[in-house]
Amino acid sequence: MKKFLTAALLSTASITATAETVASHALSVNTALELVKEGLAACAKDNYHVSVAIVDHSGNLKAFGRHNKSGPHAAEGAKRKAFSAASMEESTEFFFKLIQKNPELQGLHALHDNILILPGGLPIKYKGEVIAGIGVSGAPGGDLDTACAEAAISKVLNK
């Protein structure tokens, strides 16, 4: 009798598992390359020798370009700014200013080895969803890096 009751309880208590799918969007490699080209061009107008990186939402490098005179630190900086913007879904300038106002938040950079909280990184959104990040590094100031990233996004994605 115990075995029968146990079997009956188990059969009625079984849980039906269903697969859940999630639709998401991604930036094409061609669009990523266009963003790099326009980011470099925007900075070149002012004679800034920068590096520009595009990462997907997961932080994987999708496209990269650097001016011939861009230093190795700028190449790494651009990749890390793009990673930070995509990962944290906000501009790196936002976090830079937040930490200036709240020094106790300085540990944010320790969340991941690739996080760099300096201006010049922007999330790239499609229909409100962060699908990528752009990072620019090498201009004589983070605000100028940000301006070049904004110019690239405006020219390529806001046609």
Tell me the domains of the chain and their CATH numbers: 25-157 (3.30.450.150)
Q: State pLDDT tens for residues 100-137.
A: 999 999 999 899 999 999 999 999 999 999 999 999 99
* 139 touches 43 (CB < 8 A): yes
Confidence (pLDDT) at 144: 98
Query: What's the one-letter identity of residue 69?
Result: K
CB atoms within 10 A of CB 127: 6
Confidence (pLDDT) at 123: 99
Q: Exposed, middle or buried, 33 (CB in 10 Å: 0-12/13-18/19+)?
A: middle
CA distance 101 to 103: 6
Q: State pLDDT tens for residues 3-58.
A: 654 555 555 555 556 788 888 899 999 999 999 999 999 999 999 999 999 999 99
Segment 125-152 mean pLDDT: 97
CA distance 15 to 126: 37
CB atoms within 10 A of CB 67: 17
Confidence (pLDDT) at 23: 82
Confidence (pLDDT) at 136: 99
